[in-house]
Amino acid sequence: MTTTKKNAAPLKIIPLGGLDGIGKNMTVFECGSDMVLVDAGLMFPDDSQPGIDLVLPDYTYVLENEDKLRGIIITHGHEDHTGSLPYLLQDLNNKVPIFSSKLTLGFVEGKLSEFRIRAPKFREVNDGSHITLGCMTIDFFSMTHSIPGALGVFIKTPQGTVLHTGDFKLDQTPIDGIRPNYGAITRFAKSGIDLLLSDSTNATVPGFTKSEAEVGPSLYEVIKNAKGRVFVASFSSHIHRLQQICNAARACRRKIVVTGRSMLTNTRVARELGYLDIEEKDLIDAYELSGVPDRQVLVMCTGSQGEPLSALSRMANGEHKTLSIHEGDTVIISATPVPGNEKAVQQVINSLAKLGCDVYDKSRRLVHVSGHGSQEELKLMLAMTHPSYFMPVHGEAVHLRAHAGLARKMGIPEERIFIMDNGDTLEMRDGKVKRGRSVESGVVYVDGLRIGDTDPIVLRDRQKLANDGMVTIVATMSQKHKRIEGVELSARGVSFTIDDEFTADATDAILKMVEKGSFNFTSSGTDALRKAVRDSISNFIWNRTKTRPMIIPVVMEV
């Protein structure tokens, strides 16, 4: 630990994402005139966000201080750590270097090319790499996760040290043979770790997470015994899993079809960089399947999270342009639903069951293990690092609190454990950590081609439309006779029938409301009339049907 004057600029640790769910991880490290960003991820929307495509962390603070930004570090290549990079880079005025492993940079390059972001300043780092960004020095060390090239970082500053684990589990038999660098972790601990930021995703799960190597034999057994074609849905960036799927396919003499945009992109990048071993003779295009026996086909596809536009969902609904699933096929869902996606995944499973498929998920066979450490691994990390202060990261509130409970059991005092929200700030001076002033935070929605703060009222209206539908009412106003001459109703998505009786009763309700009020039957008075029409029909529909559809009133002058 480096001692310094107490009035010098503190090291600020500012999580902008990752502390309110599984996703959109982003953390700022700022010391004086220097700032480093660790990860830039996204989340997928939940049922309360209809029409939203992606959810990003609000990185306004980064943009406001971009003159300080010395570099962006990406710990690994999953979307929840890389997905907001294209949007952030488009908003930055200056190019900053991006540091990560070879595979992660390969995935990022493919993503940036889709956004036509050219010539990013990529800097490859590996286990043991050492860089200096402003007043901060950063050491990288290997970690095991569900993707090759996962890294943790040790950050040394004038005010103290921070170890950030990234996403990890302590897998002793990883597929690529690259284990966590325990030597580096203990070496950092010996020099002194003032603050530990550690992955909390599985903090509620007892014991140890099973090794990725245990999945391969189960996949092989399911694929070997399948009578028809086999479809395997998994994360496209889970290269270790894809390798085991390909190994099992080859052992069972099945040709491999790859479908789904991200699956095609990531398998291509991983093969080119040497992380995925699939020989060209084992691959076959979906258009060339005609005449190939079903027992000789395996399809690797996206859709493990029930995404409606994914390859698996399209095939389950008969909407895929080249592939279809039918009775006798076997489907393996080799992933765990991210919290919030359970319903969507179950809908896909039900659709597949109706087709007569044999569906396997982790509840039926060991076709998936987590990439995150469970409680005993998290305690081992705390024991190895022996930090002075602790901040659980990457998880929902329940995970962060469970991880904090583990830290207390490991002897870290309550007052040295910080359960933070996005936008909260920790300040470190001379190795001592305390809470600082919060910064602007929140979420940014990607809604079609629009990127920004989608108004909560818009989301509320979409929910109302989804639940109760919409009623349009056109009231004809006579300026000459100063009254409502006629009413027409139409509806979409409502649970009741608008017949002549309903329209007559609704018209009476509107006329009675208008008669009771004092309205100016001129152009300047239409706003008041429109509100009265909306209120009267809303009350009428509630009393009649106990539903509250969206009401769109239109007042026309005649």
| Active-site annotation, residues | 199, 372
Tracing tokens 């406001």 back to the chain, one arrives at 64
Residue 186: how many other CB atoms lie within 10 Å: 13
Identity (one letter) of the amino acid at 154? F
The closest of 112, 110, 63, 113 to 84, measured between CA atoms, is 112
Q: Where are the alpha helices (DSSP H) in 93-196?
A: 102-114, 182-191
Q: How far is CA 9 from the centre of its chain?
A: 34
Instruction: Please give the Cα distance from 199 to 197 (Å, whole number).
Output: 7
Q: How far is CA 248 from the centre of its chain?
A: 29
The two tokens of residue 400 are 């962060």
Instruction: Please give the Cα distance from 544 to 535 (Å, whole number).
Output: 14
Q: How far apart are the first and last CA of the chain?
A: 81
Helix (H) or strand (E) holding 343: helix 342-354
Report the half-sphere exposure of 399 (CA within 13 A, side-chain side): 23
287 φ/ψ angles, rounded to the nearest 5 degrees: -75, -10
DSSP string, 171-203: -SS-TTS----HHHHHHHHHH--SEEEEE-TTT
Instruction: Please give the Cα distance from 53 to 45 (Å, whole number).
Output: 7
Contact 69, 96 (CB under 8 A): yes
Handedness of CA 120, 121, 127, 133 (dihedral sign): negative
Instruction: Please give the Cα distance from 59 to 73 (Å, whole number).
Output: 15
Q: Helix, strand, or coil here: 477?
A: strand
